[in-house]
Amino acid sequence: MIPRFDLPPEADRRYVFRPGAYAVLLRGRDILLTRQNGSDRALQLPGGGIDPGETPLRALHREVFEETGWRMAVDRRLGSFRRFAFMPEYGIHAEKLCHIFLGRPGLRIGPPVEPDHDAVWMDADEAVTQLDNAGDAYFLARFLRSGRGAVDHRH
C-alpha cells in the first residue's frame, strides 16, 4: 500500500490525478532543495509533475534542472507516496502520486529557469525539519536513518 501524507481527501471534492517525480540529491551531508518564492515560500525536494507521454525519469531530470539549474544522475528509486493538495499555480485540487528517487547532483548549468524558484543547499538533518511536505521529510529521514545518508560523490 502506498502511504498517504498530509490531509485526507475531502469527500465532496473532485481531484485531478497528478503523478510526479522528486529527488533526494545529496553531496556529503548536504542536500539540494528548491524554494518556491511565491506566497508560501515552500521548501521542497526538487521535482514535479510527469507530463503526458513523459517517463518519470525524464520528468525528474527536466524538473530538477528547471527548479535548481543543476543536472543530476539517478541512483535508485526510494519509494512513493500520495497526498491531496490544492495546486494554486494550476487552480486545481490534485491527488498527487509522488515518486521519490535518490540521485547525485552533477553540473550546475546556471540559476533555476523556472520563475520564483531558488536552489538551496542545506544540511540534510536540518532539511528533515524544514521541508514543507511531510512525505518529502519522511523519505529523506528514512534514507538518512538507513546508514547510507552521507554520500561522497567527488569521484
Instruction: Answer yes or no: is 7 within a domain.
Output: no
Give the per-residue pLDDT at 149.
Answer: 57
Mean pLDDT of 10-28: 97
Three-state SS at 108: strand
43 inside domain: yes
Residue 110 lies inside a defined structural domain of this protein: yes
Nearest residue to 45 via CA among 18, 27, 70, 67: 67
**Domain at 102, CATH number:** 3.90.79.10
Instruction: Using alpha carbons, select from 61, 59, 56, 57 the residue that is nearest to residue 72.
Output: 61
Q: Does residue 66 sit within a domain? A: yes
Residue 32 region by backbone torsions, left for phi larger than 0, else alpha for psi between -120 and 50, else beta: beta
What's the domain range around 104? 13-146
* Residue-wise pLDDT tens digits, 38-85: 656 789 999 999 999 999 999 999 999 999 999 999 999 999 999 999
- Over residues 87-116, the mean pLDDT reads 95
Please calculate the CA angle 98-73-117 and round it to the nearest 5 degrees. Answer: 60
Partners of 32 in the beta sheet?
121
Indicate whether 153 belongs to any domain.
no
78 found inside a domain: yes
Q: What is the pLDDT of residues 135-146, one digit of tens each?
A: 999 999 999 999
State the total domains in the chain. 1
96 within domain boundaries? yes
Residue-averaged pLDDT of the chain: 92
Question: Does residue 70 sit within a domain?
Answer: yes
